[in-house]
Amino acid sequence: MLFFSQLINGLQLGSIYALVALGYSMVYGIILLLNFAHGDIIMVGGYIALLAITAGLPTYIAVPLSIIGCILLACIIDKVAYSPLRKAPRISLLITAIGVSLLLQNLAQLIFSAKSQPFPSSVVIPKGSVNIGGFAISYTALVTLVVAVVSMLLLTWLVQKSKMGKAMRAVSEDMGAAQLMGISVNSTISFTFAVGSALAGIGAILYCCRYPQVSPTMGSLLGLKAFVAAVLGGIGSIPGAMLGGFAIGLCEVLVTSLGGSAWTDAVVFAILIVVLLIKPTGFMGKAMSEKV
Amino acid sequence: MLKVNDINVYYGSIHAIKGVSFEVEKGEIVTLIGANGAGKSTILNTVSGLLPAKSGTVSFMGKTINGIAAHKVVGMGLAQVPEGRRVFLNMTVQENLEMGAYTRKSAEIDDSIADVYERFPRLKERRKQVAGTLSGGEQQMLAMGRALMSKPELLMLDEPSMGLAPILVEQIFDIIKELNKAGTTILLVEQNAQMALSIADRGYVLETGKIVTSAKASDLLNDDSVKKAYLGG
């Protein structure tokens, strides 16, 4: 019983990490950028949802609004900050990403103050639980799992079967050859940011439903943990990011349920160190030689 | 069809292409030959828009195309088979071909794929395999098939013989001749000057970023200096 509820708990948290990790992995797969501003996009998504709901908009408008906000923000960041650096060394891009992250956090503090604000999670997903085979599963957990799994299936279809998804794979493999096919590299990269951020937007709402508050720095720890999940799964790999997300979520809940709730963050980052030492390519990543 | 006029290309401060001009007429096979590092690939990459020319013009079917982004040049009827094939190794044969037709409407693609499979039956057998599992010769065929998917007027081939066994080289060159007979104009860049000149109408000899000789291919095959430098005596 306890095991089962902890399992659901871990899968719920894990699916949020997985959604966020996908954004890291997809962007890394295509332009080799660790987009450290990704977590802060979640924070912005949280605030948009909060503002929309407190303004009295219904959930079915507030949630898409927040997701669209995340997509637009990511595309603007790409256009303004990253795309001028396409040919610059990767370290410049990385530092720019950190700069964008700090900018977003401080802008949010300026606008909303540093205090965290409660998120009306029960408006988005009603309180209560459903009984499945004698086990009670909260609506929040159920919705989170279903939404995450559906999003991942859609993403898999998009990447494997759609024309744009194939173009994404082509660009991530060989930008020059992709251009010779008539694929616009810049719009493909923007599209990748858009898809990753849509997933982040979904993750933001689900995260706020689980931990019902928003603050300017809420994205940084979530983002870092999702980054660990992406590395654990093999950065650049889409199924890897999903797997890594679930693994980190389950692991965190396991540590908490063993009474080590103060240790969860330490354990997650210890995993990062161990992965980097023992198997830097993660579960599903490919060993890559530096392109010259 | 293709007119390259006095182009200069730099890699940083290195002056790689120095005032190169050449022409390709409709229906021809034209070859650029020269040693490693002479600038052959650089010229093709400049024509296709992957590299910018500092000065000079490239015009294709009457339109100036330098300065136009590489991904827009393909739709105008100019396709390039890049050096080293550069097929998408993690994608299937079929997906590679679909990428080749990226600029076309999806309704038209199936016929073209059937055409490519007819020309390269090996690719049909392997259509669901990822390209990374193909042999070098098969990858070259895939790279050519992929370029043909855009229905090009002019096909530019960069070292199609590279790394292939002699029998495969012959096969590839036979296919190039067939494609030309079927109406595709060919610009061929090769280190294998003997093979290239044997199928070409005209040739240009490139040395350290400059064109030093241009003539009918049959004349170049008999030219003493060309023989000495590129044809092994």
Which range among A53-62, A249-258, A277-286, B143-152 shows the weakest confidence by mean pLDDT? A277-286
pLDDT at position B225 is: 83
pLDDT higher than threshold 70 for residue A288: no
A164 interaction partners in chain B (CB closer than 8 Å): none
- Find the CB nearest B103 among A170, A182, A185: A182
B80 contacts A169? CB cut-off 8 A: no
Q: Do B82 and A177 touch (CB under 8 A)?
A: yes
pLDDT value at position A87? 87
Q: What is the per-residue DSSP string for chain B? A: -EEEEEEEEEETTEEEEEEEEEEE-TT-EEEEEE-TTSSHHHHHHHHTTSS--SEEEEEETTEE-TTS-HHHHGGGTEEEE-TT----TTSBHHHHHHHHTTTS-GGGHHHHHHHHHHH-HHHHHTTTSBGGGS-HHHHHHHHHHHHHTT--SEEEEE-TTTT--HHHHHHHHHHHHHHHHTT-EEEEEES-HHHHHHH-SEEEEEETTEEEEEEEHHHHHH-HHHHHHHS--
Which of B71, B97, B158 to mutate against chain A (most A CBs within 10 Å)? B71
User: How far apart, in whole angstroms, are the C-alpha atoms of residue A200 and residue A35?
Assistant: 12
List of domains in chain A: 2-126+135-278 (1.10.3470.10)
For residues A13 and A250, what is the distance between their CA atoms, to the nearest angstrom?
A: 8
Residue B104's closest chain A neighbor by CA?
Answer: A182
Distance from CA of A260 to the nearest CA of B (A): 42
CATH top class, domain B2-230: alpha beta
Best A179, A181, A190, A291 member to test B by mutation, with max B CBs in 10 Å, is A181
Rounded Cα–Cα distance for residues A16 and A128 (Å): 20
Q: What pLDDT, on the 0 to 100 scale, is given for residue A230?
A: 96
Size of interface A-B (CB pairs under 8 A): 65
Q: What's the pTM? A: 0.91
Q: List CB contacts (< 8 A) between A169 and chain B.
A: 88, 90-91, 95
Predicted local distance difference test score (pLDDT) of residue B24: 97
Percent of chain B with pLDDT over 70: 99
- Residue-wise pLDDT tens digits, A116-137: 999 999 999 999 999 888 888 9
Per CB-CB distance under 8 Å, the chain B contacts of A167 are: 99, 102
Q: Do B79 and A180 touch (CB under 8 A)?
A: yes
ipTM above 0.90, yes or no: yes
Q: Which residue of B has its CA nearest to A185?
A: B71
Say if residue B37's pLDDT is above 90.
Answer: no
Q: Is B95–A182 a contact, with Cβ atoms under 8 angstroms apart? A: no
| pLDDT tens by residue, A150-193 | 999 999 999 999 999 999 999 999 999 999 999 999 999 999 99
Identify each DSSP E strand in chain A by its residue range: 117-118, 129-132, 135-138, 213-214
Phi, psi of B89 (to 5 degrees): -65, -30
- Write the residue in B49, B71, B106 that is nearest to A183 by C-beta: B71
Quote the DSSP letter at residue A132: E
Residue A292 pLDDT > 50, yes or no?
no
Say if the Cβ atoms of B91 and A180 lie within 8 Å: no
Mean pLDDT of all residues belonging to chain B: 94
Our CA-based measurement puts residue B82 at a distance from the nearest CA of chain A, in whole angstroms, of 7
In this complex, which of B48, B82, B102 lies closest to A183 when CB atoms are compared?
Answer: B102
Answer whether A181 sits within 8 Å of B71, measured CB to CB: yes
